């Protein structure tokens, strides 16, 4: 047992490889059901899309364009909201940086008043 520990301490890359391999195996078994569910849902979505395509192939490009446009507009809204969130958070961080100075000023003025 000591020789194994000495070998692993002398070769940390092998230890990292073993840990990564074990983590991948554990994650695989945990998410195995989710992977199966995702594949089944993908097959269902492709089947439904194929059905609609064979029903009316001329309208399919229009529907795809409409879907792409709705996804683009939704992603633009998300980007704008995230930009405003970032800006607001930066303003909040700046205000929290100023807060200790304001407290120090209040304490100094209170000490000056108490000392007088």
| pTM, rounded to two decimals | 0.37
Q: What is the pLDDT along the chain (116 residues), one digit of tens a residue?
A: 788 888 878 888 988 999 999 999 998 888 888 888 889 999 999 998 888 778 877 776 777 788 888 888 888 888 888 888 888 888 888 887 777 777 777 777 767 777 65
Instruction: Give how far Cα 69 sits from Cα of 38, 64, 74, 85, Å.
Output: 25, 9, 9, 24
Is residue 19 within 8 A of residue 12, CB to CB? The reply is no
What is residue 19's three-state secondary structure? helix
Q: Rounded to the nearest 5°, which phi and psi values hold at 47?
A: -65, -45
Domain residue spans of the chain: 1-55
């Amino acid at each position: 047992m000591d020789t194994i520990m000495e070998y692993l301490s002398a070769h940390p890359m092998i230890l990292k490889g073993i840990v990564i391999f074990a983590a991948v195996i554990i994650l695989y078994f945990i998410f195995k059901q989710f992977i199966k569910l995702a594949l089944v849902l993908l097959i269902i979505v492709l089947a439904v899309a194929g059905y609609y395509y064979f029903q009316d192939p001329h309208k399919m490009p229009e529907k795809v364009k409409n879907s792409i446009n709705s996804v683009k507009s939704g992603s633009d809204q998300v980007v704008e909201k995230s930009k405003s969130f970032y800006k607001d958070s930066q303003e909040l961080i700046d205000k929290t940086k100023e807060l200790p100075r304001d407290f120090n000023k209040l304490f100094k003025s209170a000490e000056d008043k108490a000392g007088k």
